[in-house]
Amino acid sequence: MYVRDIILTVRYLIRARVKPGREADLLEAIDRCTLGRGSVAEGEYLRNMKDARLCGDQTTRWVEVCFCPSPLLEERPYWEEYFELTRVQDAHDRRRCLDENGQEPWACVSCDCTERLEQRLTETGESFLDVLRRKVEADSTVVSTRAGDKK
């Protein structure tokens, strides 16, 4: 029995929306490098957010490598603290996956099978982190202004 018989390695295209009111908390978790703390995929969360794009339909999108037997089994609670996951789908054709077809166990770790998709994402929408920073800054300015009005 091989490890790959137990653990599937898949790359997923994630579409999500930040939960209302969670923007500042998410940005703080990213800036403090605490996003995903306690997860086996801890550093992956920060890389995902660095690469994430905010698209025209207002969903945030990123490609994620997952070794769980079902999509995002381990990661889902960490993401759902801040995001509503609107769609999780295979990011590539599993028939051509070297790990999936047994040619190269753990191939997803260094595979470039989603390179074209990831490149297209960089050319789509805006950097999610840039937009998130602007929103949090704008929201804090509004709160500060309102607090000043009450004095």
In a domain, 70, yes or no: yes
In a domain, 132, yes or no: yes
CA distance 139 to 66: 34
Q: pLDDT tens digits for the chain (151 residues)?
A: 344 444 456 789 999 999 999 999 999 999 999 999 999 988 899 999 999 999 999 999 999 988 777 889 999 999 999 999 999 998 877 777 777 778 887 776 667 777 788 888 999 999 999 999 999 999 988 766 665 566 5
Is the distance from CB of 26 to CB of 35 less than 8 angstroms?
A: yes
In a domain, 60, yes or no: yes
Strands 10-18 and 53-54: unpaired
In a domain, 75, yes or no: yes
In a domain, 134, yes or no: yes
Task: Count the domains in the chain.
Answer: 1
CA distance 47 to 42: 10
Please count the helices (runs of H) and the strands (runs of E) in the chain. Answer: 5, 5
CA distance 73 to 54: 24
In a domain, 118, yes or no: no
In a domain, 111, yes or no: no
The pTM assigned to this predicted structure is 0.80
CATH number at residue 43: 3.30.70
Q: What range does the domain containing 27 cover?
A: 3-101+124-142
In a domain, 108, yes or no: no
CA distance 87 to 14: 6
